[in-house]
Chain A
Amino acid sequence: MKFKFYIFILGAGLSACSFGKQTFVNGKSIPLSAEYPNSRSVDSIVSPYKIELDKEMNQIVAQAEVDFINQRPNGSLGFLVADILLEKGKEVLPNENMICLINIGGLRAPISKGNVLLGDVFKLMPFDNQFLLVKMPAKSIVDIQAYLKKSGGEPISGFKVLQDTILTGDNQVWQANDFWVVTSDYLMNGGDNMNFFQQKLEVKNPNLLLRNVILEGFKSRKTLSNVIDTRIKL
């Protein structure tokens, strides 16, 4: 139907129908696949940076048994990371009622099956976000529940939101007590409109980067196994 668009001229062009004044347009997106060769000039600019970076970033830190990707409401990548962060939180503050909540938008790249390199951890979490422990009043869990239902799901650990029911990570009834949330400074400061963090009672900052906690978790696990769980039902 090549000609159908020309008819638009009638809409506004009746009085100024001189053809030369018209502007025609077409557009498309061109995928950059492997069929294009590499550019020598670009590669020579990149090379000194790449050599320096590769020395550091190509270290293998773990093996992934599957591809870990972001998905809503439940995603293996988000749960893997949230589980690691919660474990660290419980190490910092043992015997506390604790959950983890981060944001799906903060996990910037998948972890692909096979060797996991230090560089992959940087791509997953490029931001220099701080690892925080935030103490929240009991009532805040309802606001977190509402947020998760509205956003469609975020990476969580240590609790479940199954429609109107809130459970602990191991499927016990959620007790209405004050609780700690492992999260990032970005989210605690209102990032992604997580405004419920304004209700916070206390903040502990052990001066750790989220990325380094994730890295430590990957290294100690050695093998990253799939996390299949239903933690959120909308």
Chain B
Amino acid sequence: MDRRKFIQSSSLAFGGLMVSPQLLAAPNLKKTTKITILHTNDTHSNIDAFPANHAKYANQGGVSRRHELIQKIRLEEENVLLLDAGDIFQGTPYFNRFGGVLEMKLMSHLGYDAATMGNHDFDGGMDGFLKAKEFANFPFLCSNYDFKNTILDGQTKSHHIFEKSGAKIGVFGLGVELNGLVPDIHFKETKYLNPIEMAQESIKKLKEAKVDLIICLSHLGYEYATEKISDRKLAQKTDGIDLIIGGHTHTFLEKPTVEYNLGGNITLVNQVGWAGVQLGRVDFYVGKHVRSDSGLILID
């Protein structure tokens, strides 16, 4: 990382000496396939927009407006993936009274492509989740919860590959440790597996499938003062993830955080707070549909 900073600053200082003119020109994005990733996290049953007298988020959010924004982007962009990083449930009386059915109906209507499970998605018990999930037309991706011996066995997938205009996008999911966060009776015999190991396993499978992009839907949390695994640590300790869409810590980021992974390449980490007051957007311009081992290049 330091070396890269050195190269960056010295390149700027010495200008053309090290950089071919081609690279200093604006990237030729015409030769690429644009993939637009839209994402939410921790929407917590916030169906309606916040009221005008709300102490913190007056007149913000709301599924209805989110639908309009997403529709507008879908008209402008050919290849849109809409993803959620978990904690769909719990936070308004909609969940207390209807158990998450409306949340799932609306996410399906908005055209979500995949989601992962957050700790609060266990709040109605696994049977409650399953009942609501009947109304979801998108997969739940969980690679580090082993649901064997529970009613969720076979109900989720570790990863899924989407194809958009010939580009392949691999998405996998990671969940937070449930012990101490969720009552035992709600997750029963679910086993929590090491997120870094399961991430490496998913990355390996996705690379073998020759995907162009690897995206992780994570409910681990952005960062902690302790050694607890977080999205930033996950980015640094794995190799091959292009974007981690995070949740759990309700962290508002204006734009994705840039981390350097084990391969020395960029892994982006993004999160959009909670309650659907923001929609995250990351545009990838994928070149030639060959997975690039030279990593991501940031543009403004």
Contact = CB atoms under 8 A, between A and B. Distances in A.
A10 to B, nearest CB: 6
Interface stretch (A16-24, A86-94, A134-142): A16-24
B88 to A, nearest CB: 13
Given A24-B27, A25-B298, A42-B109, A127 B278 contact: no
Nearest to A123: B92
B117 interface: no
A21 B299 contact: no
B106 interface: yes
Given A7-B8, A33-B60, A53 B93 contact: yes
A41 B44 CA distance: 21
B278 A12 contact: no
A196 interface: no
Contacts of A189: 183
A27 B65 contact: no
Interface stretch (B67-75, B143-151, B188-196): B67-75
B102 A49 contact: yes
B285 A24 contact: yes
Given A38-B64, A126-B92, A193 B106 contact: no
Given A8-B8, A21-B294, A191-B181, A45 B277 contact: no
A23 B66 contact: no
Contacts of B283: 25-27
Size class of the contact patch on chain B: 35 or more
Contacts of B296: 23-25
Nearest to B98: A49
Given A25-B284, A30-B281, A46 B55 contact: no
Contact of A112 (B53, B94, B109): B53
Contacts of A67: 55
Contacts of A190: 180
Interface in A9-67: 9-13, 16-17, 19-34, 36-39, 41-43, 45-46, 49-50, 52-53, 56-57, 67
Interface stretch (A103-111, A156-164, A198-206, A218-226): A103-111
Interface stretch (B15-23, B155-163, B199-207): B15-23
A13 B18 CA distance: 13
Nearest to A27: B282
* Among B64, B266, B270, B278: residue with most chain A CB under 10 A: B64
B165 interface: no
Given A27-B255, A108-B91, A42 B11 contact: no
Nearest to B56: A110
B176 interface: no
Interface string B42-85: 00110111010111100111111111110100000000000000
Contacts of B270: 27, 29
A154 B60 CA distance: 28
Given A23-B284, A24-B284, A32-B61, A122 B96 contact: yes
A12 B265 CA distance: 8
B109 A119 contact: no
Given A29-B253, A29-B254, A43-B64, A24 B299 contact: yes
Contact of B294 (A12, A26, A32, A192): A12
Contact of B4 (A11, A53, A114): A11
A41 B92 CA distance: 21
Given A22-B287, A36-B68, A39-B67, A7 B19 contact: yes
B94 A22 contact: no
